[in-house]
Amino acid sequence: MTWGRGDRTSPAMKASDADILIIPGYTNSGPEHWQSRWQAKLSTARRVEQAEWAKPVREDWVARVVEEVEAATKPVVLVAHSLGVATAIHAVPHLGSKVAGAFLVAPPDVANPSIRPKHLMTFGPYPRDPLPFPSLLVASRNDPFGSYEHADDIANAWGSFIIDAGDSGHLNAESGHGPWPEGGMVFAQFLSRLKP
* ∠ Cα 182 183 185 (to 5°): 65
Q: Residues with Cβ < 8 Å from 191, sequence gap 6 or more?
A: 12, 13, 14, 15, 18, 77, 101
Checking DSSP bridges between strand 135-139 and strand 19-23, what pairing results, if any?
A: unpaired
- Closest to 163 (Cα-Cα) out of 130, 140, 133, 132: 140
**CATH superfamily entry for domain 15-192:** Alpha/Beta hydrolase fold, catalytic domain (3.40.50.1820)
Residues in Cβ contact with 144 at an 8 Å cutoff, skipping those fewer than 6 apart: 169, 170
Q: 3-state DSSP call for residue 39?
A: helix
* pLDDT value at residue 12: 84
Q: What is the predicted pLDDT for the residue at 9? A: 52
In angstroms, the CA 24 to CA 30 distance is 9
SS3 of residue 164 by DSSP: strand
What is the per-residue pLDDT for 138? 98
Query: How far apart, in whole angstroms, are the C-alpha atoms of residue 20 and residue 77?
Result: 5
The pTM assigned to this predicted structure is: 0.94
pLDDT 10s digit of each residue in the chain, 196 long? Answer: 344 444 445 678 988 999 999 999 999 999 999 999 999 999 999 999 999 999 999 999 999 999 999 999 999 999 999 999 999 999 999 999 999 999 999 999 999 999 989 999 999 999 999 999 999 999 999 999 999 999 999 999 999 999 999 999 999 999 999 999 999 999 999 999 998 7
